[in-house]
Amino acid sequence: MRPVRSLSAGSLVLSFLVAIPGTADAKGTESPVIIGLEENGVNVGSSKWIRDPQSGEFVPAPPNFVSDDPNQYKADLQCQVDQDSLAKKCLPGQLQCPPREAGGKPGTAVIWKVAPKSVSNPVWTDWTPNGSGPSCLYDEKPEDLLPKIAARIESDFRNLPIKPAELRAQPSPHTLKGAETNIFADAVEQQFDVTILGQRVHIVATPVEYTYAYGDGNSLGPTPFAGGPIPEEQWAKRRERAMCINRPVTFSCP
């Protein structure tokens, strides 16, 4: 067990208000209903499964598991009916993909398909993130493009003007010596539209974990919890239970 130390300015308590997914308000007939099968699976805190790389079997995911994209994607030619033939009737109405710059190569009209990675020989369905329908792909081998984009996306992402989380404290801007202080991160989802390898890519940046550095060499995290504001009448109360889940060495736990 690590020795409990205290900060020179007094003890601080972090608050971690864990949001409980709201069930539908029985009285509020106009409150939205989370109705989809997948949507409920994401929202209700049900079991999550991953493929165990060693055994190849599906096992429950560990508690702090951050999900990867569960899907695989491919681009089918817009008018393709099977591997070898095209639907001739479809061709006249096919999406036109002229070159994007003078002297450039024209694109190919494709329909993106999606299927879960976890299923062998899955059935593919149309991928419809924002509306649907065919799109133009400007690459000779469409199937090679997505991995290329995926490889580029992390480095390109680091150059995006992402607004960092802001640190909030209650009370603020000053706290009293010996008094409890609620510290939390204020981070928001941010969206960007960028062009990678000639393809327009929409990126949604979602904060998933937080690390708090206290300036005295101590830190907390990474933790999935940002914490959150609490009503003023509760400022003086310690929120020990939540805090001790993360066992920060700087703070005393009961």
Partner 1 sequence: MTPRTSISARSFIIGSLATALTLTACGNNTQPQSASPTVSASASATATPTPTPTAAYKPADAKGKAENVPIPVLPEAAKANSKEGVEAFARYWFQALSYAYETGDVRVLKQTTGPNCVLCTALQEAITVAWTDGKWIVGGRIETPVVVGKYRDGGGSPQTTVQAIQQLIEIRRADGTLYQDPTKASNRGMQLVATFSANGWTVIDLGLIY
CA distance 168 to 212: 12
Q: What tokens appear for 230 in the block? A: 């609490």
Q: What tokens appear for 124 in the block? A: 């593919």
Distance in Å, CB of 165 to partner 1, minimum: 5
Q: What tokens appear for 45 in the block? A: 């805190």
Phi, psi of 243 (to 5 degrees): -60, -40
Q: What tokens appear for 234 in the block? A: 């509760």
Distance in Å, CB of 41 to partner 1, minimum: 4
Cβ proximity of 8 and 178 under 8 Å: no
Q: Is the dihedral of CA 37, 43, 49, 53 positive or negative?
A: positive
Specify the DSSP element, H or E, that contains 246.
helix 240-246
Distance in Å, CB of 188 to partner 1, minimum: 11
Nearer to partner 1, 68 or 233 (CB): 68
Distance in Å, CB of 85 to partner 1, minimum: 17
Nearer to partner 1, 1 or 217 (CB): 217
Distance in Å, CB of 145 to partner 1, minimum: 8
Q: Is 125 helix (H, G, I), strand (E, B) or coil?
A: strand
Distance in Å, CB of 10 to partner 1, minimum: 8
Cβ proximity of 196 and 183 under 8 Å: no
Nearer to partner 1, 167 or 253 (CB): 167
Nearer to partner 1, 154 or 233 (CB): 154
Nearer to partner 1, 1 or 119 (CB): 119
**Structure-derived torsion over alpha carbons of residues 5, 6, 8, 13, reported in degrees to the nearest 10:** 150
Cβ proximity of 232 and 216 under 8 Å: no
CA distance 174 to 20: 30
Q: Is 158 helix (H, G, I), strand (E, B) or coil?
A: helix
Distance in Å, CB of 92 to partner 1, minimum: 14
Nearer to partner 1, 1 or 89 (CB): 89
Nearer to partner 1, 1 or 72 (CB): 72
